[in-house]
Structure 1
Amino acid sequence: MTARWLIVLAVLGMIGAAIWQTLPQAPVAVDPGSKSVAFTLPDLEGTMRQLPEGEVVLLNFWATWCPPCRREIPSMVQLHEKLAAKGLKVVAVSVDQRLDDLTGFVKEYKMPFEVLHDADNAVSHRYGVFRYPESFLIDRHGVVRQHLVGAVDWMAAPVVSAIEAMLAEPPVAGMASGVTVAAAN
C-alpha cells in the first residue's frame, strides 16, 4: 500500500512539474542599472499617462488588498510632501481590478501623487513584478537605480538620502519633465 502511494505521488509530482513548465512565467525583473520600461496607463479619471521622462521617479506597484502596501503608503505620502518640490515624481501603479476599490482607497489614504491603474497587470508583468509592493527608483536618465521588494519606510534616513542624492544630480538637457499625457489615437 505504501509503495502504491509513493508511485501515485511521484506521478502526480511529475504531472504538476510538467504543467508548471507550461504556465506563463513572470519576465525577468527590471534590474538596477537597466533602462526603465516605458508604459502608458490610465489615471483615476481615465486620462492616459506615461512614465515621466527626465525626472527622478519613485515607481511603486501596489494593491488595495495588500497589507504591506497599506503600511507603506503613509510614509510614501510624507516622502512626496517632503521632496515633490525638489523634483521627485511618485507614480503609484495599482494592480486592483476594480476601479471603484481603488478610487475609494486613494481618497481614504489622501494619496496626493499620480495613481495609475494596471487592471490587467500588463505593466507590472513587463517590470517582472509579482510580489506587492515592489518599487523602482529611477534616475533622470531613465535608469533604474534601486529595486525594492516589500514595504519600505520611505522616510527612513538612508532612503531619503539616496533619493535626495539622485535629485541633486544635474537634469537631463533637452528632456521635458513631468508626467506625460499620452496622445489620444
Structure 2
Amino acid sequence: MKKLIVATSNPGKLQEMQEYLTGLNWELVLKPAELEIEETGVTFIENAILKASSVAKALDKWAIADDSGLAVDALNGAPGIYSARYGKSDLDRINRLLKELGNNQNRQAKFICAIAISRPSGSIVLQTEGICHGEILSEPRGDGGFGYDPIFYVPSQQQTFAEMSSETKNKVSHRGLAFEQLLPKFKELKVDY
C-alpha cells in the first residue's frame, strides 16, 4: 500500500479521513507530533495547502491536509479559521459564540472544509472545498459530534450535527461534501514514488 501522511497529530481526524478513503490503496499515517506547521494562511484552503505541502516536503512522502471551521454571517465570518482556538474547550467555544451572537435574528452560518493533497515535492495536485449551510441554534441539541456540532442546525435534515447519525453527517457535512468532490479525482491520480 502507498503511504499518505495526514498532516495532523489528531488520531480522530486520521480515523475520520480513513472512513472517507475506504477501498483506496492508501495507508494513512499521522505526521510525527514534533513536526509542527504554523497555520499562517488567511483562508481554510491556504492553511490546508500550507500543511499538506510542508509535511510532504519535510517527510518526502505524499500528504493530505484539511482545514475546517465555522463561519457565522452575523459575526462577519467569525470564528472562521480561528474556530478551534475560539476557547479552551468545546463548551467555551460554544458559549463564546452564543454570547457574541446574542439575540441577533440572523442565525445563518456555514461549516467549511478545505482539503489539499501534495506530492512529496510539495506541489499540490488536488484541492477542494466543501460547504454545509445551516443555522446557529440558541442552545445545544444532541449528544453526538464535537466542537460546534450541538448548535449547528441543518434545515434539510431538521437536525443538528450532534443529533445526526455518523452516516448522515458523513454525507451532508462540509467534510463529506469536500471528500465527495475529491475522491473521483484522487482515484485517477498517477502516483510516482
- Normalised-by-shorter TM-score class: under 0.3
Larger relative CO (CA 8 A, sep 6+): 1 or 2?
1
TM-score when scaled to structure 1? Answer: 0.27
* TM-score after normalising by structure 2: 0.26
Structure with greater strand percent: 2
